[in-house]
Structure 1
Amino acid sequence: MTIRFNVKKKMKVATATLLLCSVATGALAQDAIRVISHRQPALEFYTQQMVEALPEGRVTVELMPIDKQLELASITMSSESDAIDVLYLNDSSFRRFAANGWLEPIDDLWEKYRGEYDLDDFPKSVIDAVSYDGKIYAMPILTNTQLFFYRKDLLEEAGIEPPQTMEDYMAAASQLDSARMAGTIMSLKPVDAALNESHWYMNAIGDGWFDENWKPIFNNAAGVEAITKLKEMTENAPRGFTAHANDESTINLQQGLAAMGLQWFTRAAAMDNAEQSRVVGQIEWVAPPGGGARTANDGFAISAFSSADREEMFKMLAQAASKESMREGAQFAMPPRLSVLENTELAAQYRWYPAARAALESGKAFPAMPDFNDVGEIVTRHILRAVTGEAEVQEALDQAAAETEELLASRGYYN
């Protein structure tokens, strides 16, 4: 199913002005491949790899804050201009661009160059994250996944094995919970943090969020069980968990105020930061028990309106995302290639890499719909009503499902 969305006409009016400004800067060579991207260290590295993949002068790169980059891309592509050839997209903006028909599918090139660039080295969860409506639209560049953090010393002292199932996790959290230390962190601040935590439960215990026709299923019996277990787990969480997101949960782990829990890969290094952490060397990681925790992937896509050679652009992206490139880029962000995550030198330097590999294989991205963030605002509001006892779990999820279905119907998801 392909969903298309209207872009405000005033954005199209502004297109010519913006494009003229770009040309006036003299940044573009007449026949160069124009790449636009968010500016941050990892993306600076990978866009430089694109520049070096082709002869000098063939690639120009413009780096800017992400809001400006997405605004420029939206304006340019809604007018069907060929002024942009390749663009960076995060996992949420990617779906909107793909749904609007602004991106070039690359399945044929992926298959053609599968062997040359070892594209099977990307796990299925990563490929799924850069796919929409059954087609691949972007080259994966950065990946992030949620890991299960736990205090190895405390588990060993209590005779507890690292949790492999949600039942193991609940039992361990309950056993370790005390007045001095919470059994687990929980990040239930709306919207993103609460949606991430709920996503794990909905996949590990429930049946996921939607059926194949985008009808909500998170309020079925398995979904009710999932949120009931989440509610039970909050008994072992720190006070104020409904206002906790990544920062608060990271601090609780660093300061020894919680024994374990779900957290992002990018927070792993903070556990061994001697200037901030009281638990240096004591935290270990495994894939989240039960699987299904969130994976997020960013990449570079080819504009559907580009007049440049699409095969040349694909090879440029594939070279930037090669094993060799990603081994070097691992210093900036987690590479999505399994072979790089398995690299023994990286595993020795970054203790959490082996767990990240396992988490990527068992993880799941958010549903591939452009409107899932809007759905998340609805769902997390009602999940928190259930968790805090304002409503029964079934009642809260039924209300969330009804509001979600109404929203999606208004946006053309159902015939």
Structure 2
Amino acid sequence: MTDTPPVRTTRPRQVRPATEGWSQKKDAEGRPLLQFASPKRGKPPVHLADMTPAERVAKVTELGLPGFRAKQIAAHYFSRYTSDPAAMTDLPAAGREELVGGLLPPLLTEVRRLQTDGGDTIKFLWKLHDGALVESVLMRYPGRITLCVSSQAGCGMNCPFCATGQAGLTRNMSAAEIVDQIVRANAVIAAGELGGKKSTDHSLERVSNIVFMGMGEPLANYARVMQAVRVMVAKQPEGLGMSARGITVSTVGLVPAITKLANEDIPVTFALSLHAPDDTLRDELIPVNSRWKVDEALDAARGYFERTGRRVSIEYALIKDMNDHGWRADLLAEKLNARGRGWVHVNPIPLNPTPGSIWTASDRDVQNEFVRRLNAAGIPTTLRDTRGKEIDGACGQLVATADDERAAAGA
């Protein structure tokens, strides 16, 4: 008779979050510094998209012209994607440039654009009026065109795995600077500069979907983001005429602002960037978790569903040996199911490494097992397609580099 050898169990490898090639800003107690308030800088010029329709009429009247001219200018901007006075021949020639310049001052200067995916993905680098740099990413998919927009120059949430937050928050963007990213993208599409669509694709040739997943934490710039959203959903010619359901507003978990968003009565898609179901890891991975814990963020997300009836997305960047363990998938499923069924969808995203980073995406079999466990627990889960990695245009990769700064200096 032989003894059965003992079964050896190995603990899963646990990598702790740490920055690479840069140092997190810390407070006096040594905790990662969070920047909620925008640093004081010169404000961008007030633009048509910053105003309500009534304010636009008042502005035109103040310039000595009939109020209906405001709607004409709005039609050119929101429907024909132009700010060029020469194209607005329905306006009187006398004083036209002054009128248009007063309502449509230049906001974004294109510094460069990079294309990949056979021309179906374009990353834009924009310079703002004060020299701040932001990026947006335009992507064609079958049946839709998505634009990933920035809402802040830089970001104050200080997450160690995200390139955008490395330099901290430069400033909030205005509502019009957010909207102008869409108008400029629509002009590019109208000019045929985005990869061609298939003959079976009968979607409109303009941006149909917006994701607030570019630079910045959208809910830390709440008022301007919501003004931009109102302009997006306003019917043409007063706005872009987009569907609120095609607009995704994401957050790392600013709980009071999530509750406020739920009460806006604008049924945008809401996404919570969770990235860890346990506070021990999330405190390190997402510094704002020191303010509002995992359960508080999930309760607020569930509250959004209850208030709007809109299913919530949970974003989860899968990072090798850090947050991709099977037990974390099980814990996530347990926490989501404890708050009911049918209210949530999980989007795991293979991490997009930043230049020079040793952080990397989970192995494919680990990704598949993470997804399998969630689906088996009854949580609808889809591994998300990542676009633009070759041009550093994927989630978490948007950052103004030294090369960008040099290019902007000559723009």
TM-score range, shorter chain: under 0.3
Higher helix content, 1 or 2: 1
TM-score by length of 2: 0.23
